[in-house]
Chain A
């Protein structure tokens, strides 16, 4: 028998509790469920080479032994129900010994159900006094520890969604470009889930832009653009609907340009007027790619219009295109290109500032700079003593010293370009919490 997964453990825990809500403890079904759970627990701990398992609930996610656990379709409602119960009885951590005796397991289940049925004033699980089962409510953590745990849960979920989105979007992008079909309904669902995960990171999603440093594929850059667009959209006060449309535009509005020969793109500066014009209406080519999909909803129409207005070196009129022009330019500037190294975020902001009103809509540039601030999240700097520093948010920096990241409020001094930065700046975001 293979070792159970963390997901299975969670599902069995829920089944254990649910069964005891319905059947008496001495009932054969209840006894069977307890036996199965204990066996699952033992085998899981054996697979983990651990004497116990820690199940934590932070930020609407389960962490099992510090790893995010997400449900599969079959176990979704069990996960959701168990999460809800944990939240209602204010249970943050549950520690279970690999060989929990049945008597203690019964006492734990009874206490859980008792607190659950009371709903208003849980406390039985906190005062069980058992040796193999321990429960901790949120009150035991300091604010910093609780924030760190919640951040880790959100980060794990974000990375999971980011990788799923990149991989799926690449596939769909390729299919659509080759004239194949795509289920735009599922794509929208994915976009919504991605937005939810990214918003939980606040602007820290910007810290993962270096994933695109050497990346050539437009589909990947579409997702990375969304990492910028999502928190920017939030700062603009965009509704969920508009956020979703903006991210869809990040993903698809440039798909038409993929049909232009790469050599034309590379030689932009030396193209003739006719070639320039051809390039200009190439944005229109998005229609040619997306219309054959046979979906023409208001959202698709919005996408087409946005794509048609993505002009080079000329501010767009269309409100969504205005935002997208700035976001697109920024994301492109902070990545390496064959003809130049990645710009530091402050250099990219200087370009936007200089060209506001000329290549970009002025108001949008101003809003974008307000959002980024003088020290954008994810930007790399030196500190006074010359240590490498990554901006985590306006009040927190990560400073790299002797192989470790230290997190405190530190003033960035000089911009440090990525191509000479001595450490992967994304690790600052991964190790915090």
Chain B
């Protein structure tokens, strides 16, 4: 076998690896996966047409063909082949004539999840391939692997004893017992022995598919037994089963179990099991499992979540907040429509950096009504985001926002008041300006408050600011100076002639600060210009 054959074999191996990789990225039935599979099948069939079979040996160093290295152990794209090695397969042989369906089934082996008591070797045996042969290390060898030499020797001696039992010339003497009183032969009519074709599989297949549900149902039914011992044992078994299902993160069966344990049950065993499944330990473990998983079964997770009470759902979701945003958002999207209230409670615990997606989902799912539930968030940035996302911002929202401890929220509220000319909020604005807390604001914000008040309701604000300008000793001197300057500015924006006398006076008062006199002058000139008075 030369270089050309080696190249062809490697091409087949590379193509197999590509199909597996694509099936993991998309889904096995996806159009591109199908096309790649058909191409790979074509290469394989062509090779088998020339050489009848393709024998791939797998060992700890890698994969070989005809003794020649094909793939080194550690090449990541071929990791699926080394799963075979791990599961005891040492050789995979493809035989001439392999149909596409069989190659597809072979690859399906690789991308399906194995149950905990199966691996690729056992699944391959079950599948009963006709054109693919597997050389698998005998289980007996692997079972003995951990044994000492003495233990191995004892096992082999025992095996030899059984073979020797079969080889003896005579059977051991019978015990001292009565022969049976049954009739030998003749009681069964001859037609009873006529062989017929039977397909014993349908009922068995159906039973196998429902087996897991049946175990759970059986145990739950046993809780209704009149036998106290049976009840206790069933409860114990159910608890063990619940632990296993949690460890395996088998959401489908956990849902089934929860469905069979009614919330209004009076039996202490049922209540106890429900409490366990709804509790921190169980839900924390389950969440921990999913945090380790690359892919989440969001739909199954949502179905499971819908069976949990509000508090339990939070117990489950809290640890999941550590997951990447995209994964978390997909799950929360599934939940938002039906458990919006709980999502809001969850959102209250999320940092501002993570909550944007959740707010968008909330808005899509429940609109402003659902956004309302988030307004209690501790971070101002979040409250601001909520305000920004509202389809309708009422005066009440803005009034609350003006009193928000977060500057960003207040500033945005002021912008909205100004944009929409919310005259009803002017008293709130003016109260705010008059209030003690106004002094603590930075100059930028103070100016905005004043400007917005001035622009929003001129007549209402004019007397207010004239009053500020003419006041004496209402504030400490520095503050008075600042307030007067701001008042002057506001009056300039309002532009009413009524303010002229006060502006004129203050612009010339010697006791006023230069800043106040300047501000008053500017505003006076603006008004005069507007009214065209000299």
Contact = CB atoms under 8 A, between A and B. Distances in A.
Interface in B168-196: 168-172, 174-175, 177-180, 182-188, 190, 192-196
A76 B90 contact: yes
Interface stretch (A128-136, A261-269, A412-420): A412-420
Given A21-B66, A84-B53, A237-B200, A374 B190 contact: yes
A424 B170 contact: yes
B126 A244 contact: yes
Nearest to B160: A163
A13 to B, nearest CB: 15
Contacts of B1: 21
B515 interface: no
A207 to B, nearest CB: 9
Contact of B198 (A159, A237, A415): A237
A77 interface: yes
A337 B121 CA distance: 40
A395 B94 CA distance: 38
Interface stretch (A30-38, A92-100, A182-190): A182-190
Contacts of B511: none
B205 interface: yes
B52 A367 contact: no
A344 B178 CA distance: 13
A350 B59 contact: no
Given A189-B121, A237-B200, A415-B185, A213 B179 contact: no
Interface in A347-391: 347-351, 353-354, 366-367, 369-374
Given A242-B200, A318-B207, A281 B227 contact: yes
A287 B180 contact: no
B184 A237 contact: no
Contacts of A183: 143
Interface residues of B, number: 99
B170 to A, nearest CB: 6
Interface string A73-100: 1001101110010001000000000000
B245 interface: yes
Contacts of B195: 235, 370-371, 373
Contacts of B247: 294
Contacts of A426: 166-167
B140 A190 contact: yes
A342 B139 CA distance: 34
A302 B209 CA distance: 9
A77 B59 contact: yes
Contacts of B190: 374
Contacts of A187: 139
A143 B55 CA distance: 31
Interface string B233-244: 100110011011
Contacts of A351: 182
Contacts of A299: 115, 117-118, 208, 211
Interface string B207-221: 111011011001100
A305 interface: yes
A213 B171 contact: yes
A161 to B, nearest CB: 8
B369 interface: no
Looking at A163, A336, A344, A353, which has the most chain B CB atoms within 10 Å of its CB? Answer: A163
Given A242-B205, A300-B117, A370 B230 contact: no
A396 interface: no
Given A159-B163, A163-B163, A287-B237, A193 B171 contact: no
Contacts of A415: 184-185
A185 B117 contact: yes
Given A298-B115, A319-B207, A369-B192, A430 B167 contact: yes
B128 interface: yes
B167 A77 contact: no
B59 to A, nearest CB: 7
Contacts of A235: 195, 198
A211 B209 CA distance: 36
B472 interface: no
A305 B155 contact: no
A330 interface: no
Interface stretch (A3-11, A46-54, A103-111, A164-172): A164-172
A163 B91 contact: no
Nearest to B140: A164
Nearest to B50: A119
Given A166-B162, A374-B190, A287 B141 contact: no
B165 interface: yes
User: Could you say which interface size class chain A belongs to?
Assistant: 35 or more
Nearest to B161: A163
B180 A240 contact: no
A239 interface: yes
A185 B233 contact: no
A237 B57 contact: no
Nearest to B207: A319
Given A163-B162, A295-B117, A351-B182, A188 B207 contact: no
Contacts of A366: 192
A236 interface: yes
B228 interface: no
A342 B243 CA distance: 45
Interface in A208-238: 208, 210-211, 213-214, 233, 235-238
Contacts of B68: 22
Given A84-B53, A336-B177, A338-B175, A291 B140 contact: no
Interface string B488-529: 000000000000000000000000000000000000000000
A128 B170 CA distance: 48
B117 A297 contact: yes
Given A81-B55, A291-B237, A350 B182 contact: yes
A366 B193 CA distance: 8
A371 B198 CA distance: 11
Contacts of A196: 125
16 contacts: A22-B67, A77-B91, A164-B140, A171-B155, A185-B116, A185-B118, A210-B171, A236-B199, A242-B200, A294-B244, A294-B247, A297-B118, A344-B184, A367-B200, A414-B185, A418-B174
Interface of B: 1, 51-53, 55, 57, 59, 66-68, 88, 90-91, 93, 115-119, 121-122, 125-128, 133, 135-143, 155, 158-160, 162-163, 165-172, 174-175, 177-180, 182-188, 190, 192-201, 203-205, 207-209, 211-212, 214-215, 218-219, 222, 227, 230, 233, 236-237, 240-241, 243-245, 247-248, 250
